[in-house]
A = this chain, B = another copy of it.
Amino acid sequence: MKKADVVVIGGSAGGIPAAIGCRRRYPEKSVILIRKEEQVLIPCGIPYIFGTLGSPERNLIPDTVLENNGIELIKGKAEEIDRDRKAVSIIGGDTVSYDKLILATGSLPLILPIPGIDKENVFAIEKDVKYLKNMLDVINKAKDIVVIGGGFIGAEFADECKKNRDNNVTIVEMLPHCLQLAFDDELCIEAEKVLTERGIKILSNKTVEAILGDKQVSKVRLSSGQELKADVVIVGVGAIPNTELAEKAGLRIGTSTKAILVDRYQRTTEDPNIFACGDCVAKVSFFSGKPTRIMLASIATGEARIAAANLFETRYLGLGGVGVFSTKLGDLSLGAAGLIERQAREDGYNIIVGESTAVNRHPGGMPGAVSTKVKLMFSKDNGVMVGGEASGGVCVGELANVISACVQHRMTAYEVSLFQMGTHPALTTSPMLYQIVNAAEIAVGKL
């Protein structure tokens, strides 16, 4: 029987920062991390294996991050948690006892309950090197690729599968638009335009009824009756929290989220010695406090930092998920932070919108200049910014983070319009046209 002050189960975006956070906050404590994977993939990098990167090996998190932080790694699948004895048993291996335990067991791809889903060359997005290697081989040879689901994963997969290949890529999305859960319609339309220009076919408002073929997939049949040729099907319809271990240990699971329930300290509601973070954990919205189903590596790392800090002393309080996203499709980058307009209206806000578009360099002849659009949402009642969206060049990734900083501080339109930004010809929009400030100033005029 092994022993550590802290045991972390899970070795990805939740587990690694949880283990490192613990070593940072409580350097005198020993930490063991148990994970089932031989090698760990960067979760958000998985679509890029299929185009930009070219192999799963180019998308790994090196184990040195654990070694460098004095964290012991055990490769093996945790079988059971004995809460009375405070010990984790590993399949075919040792038992490890803990003082504090952090669960970071992540999520599993959602499998659609449709006929033929188990045929060969139908792939979900498994976080496993061997699986992805095989998937890459099959995609390299495929002529007709059907992607089920036009969310981030589906859209990014479609975009990557099209790179340097002569093939037909089709996205089947049940909602009216791709990326509709993340962005307002106008941004979705912008994204769809880019995908279409890249030669990707988008079938929206469509559901898949069956996957056809003998052993291997050959066609996808939609509910409309339409049939699509398919050598490969990629299913990117979301993920479900991996709570098997937690459930077996008698920890509570949320009814709507199907995820492990924790308090704002990331402590499980039943066991003060067990914390949890990442995709396996139920989240609440920064805005309403209601359960929310956002699963993001960035949120996982934030929860991991909180869990780690609170292990032996309550130090950190989670604020709920703001929801900050970004992606890049073709040459278009898109980002959002907080509530998009549609969500804000659904939540009952009386919303004022400020919008501003300008080139992201000044003058427009500077290299890398791309038109960049910002849309900000404010509550008409108190002027507080509840969210924003951006589209344009690669710095939209950090622009979404500027918006996030304003949202997290519940800045008002008035305050955002006074935001002091730095600008430079080769790096940003001109100070006169800086979109966040202009959009806020326009919103102030409407309040």
Give the interface of A toward B (CB within 8 A).
13, 16-17, 20-21, 24-25, 42, 44-45, 48, 52-53, 58-61, 65, 286, 296-302, 305-306, 316, 318-319, 321-322, 324-328, 333, 335-337, 362-363, 365-368, 394-402, 404-406, 408-409, 411, 414, 417-428, 430-432, 434, 437, 441-442, 445
Contacts and interface: CB of A to CB of B under 8 A. Distances in A.
Q: Which of A17, A333, A397, A409 has the most CB of B within 10 A?
A: A397
Q: Which of A367, A414, A426 has the most CB of B within 10 A?
A: A426
A422 B21 CA distance: 19
A226 B321 CA distance: 62
Contact of A42 (B24, B60, B363, B414): B363
A318 B395 CA distance: 28
Copies of this chain held together in the complex:
2
A323 B301 CA distance: 31
B324 A422 contact: yes
Given A17-B432, A394-B426, A402-B402, 7 more contacts: A13-B432, A44-B423, A301-B432, A326-B427, A394-B394, A400-B422, A401-B422
29 contacts: A13-B431, A24-B445, A42-B425, A42-B430, A45-B363, A48-B366, A48-B426, A53-B365, A58-B365, A59-B363, A59-B365, A286-B420, A298-B420, A299-B420, A302-B418, A302-B431, A305-B417, A316-B418, A318-B418, A324-B420, A324-B421, A326-B427, A335-B422, A335-B427, A394-B394, A398-B427, A398-B428, A401-B402, A409-B409
Nearest to A436: B401
A393 B395 CA distance: 10
A333 B17 contact: no
A362 B53 contact: no
Given A60-B363, A366-B52, A441-B24, A431 B300 contact: yes
A182 to B, nearest CB: 11
Given A419-B405, A422-B325, A428 B53 contact: no
B422 A326 contact: yes
A417 to B, nearest CB: 7
Contacts of A400: 422
B401 A305 contact: no
B301 A431 contact: yes
Contact of A395 (B61, B398, B425): B398
A150 to B, nearest CB: 17
Contacts of A286: 420
A335 B396 CA distance: 17
A25 to B, nearest CB: 7
A260 B406 CA distance: 32
A397 B45 contact: no
A419 B301 CA distance: 11
A17 B417 CA distance: 13
Q: Which of A60, A327, A428 has the most CB of B within 10 A?
A: A428
Contacts of A297: 423, 430-431
A394 to B, nearest CB: 5
A320 to B, nearest CB: 9
Nearest to A368: B394
A105 B152 CA distance: 49
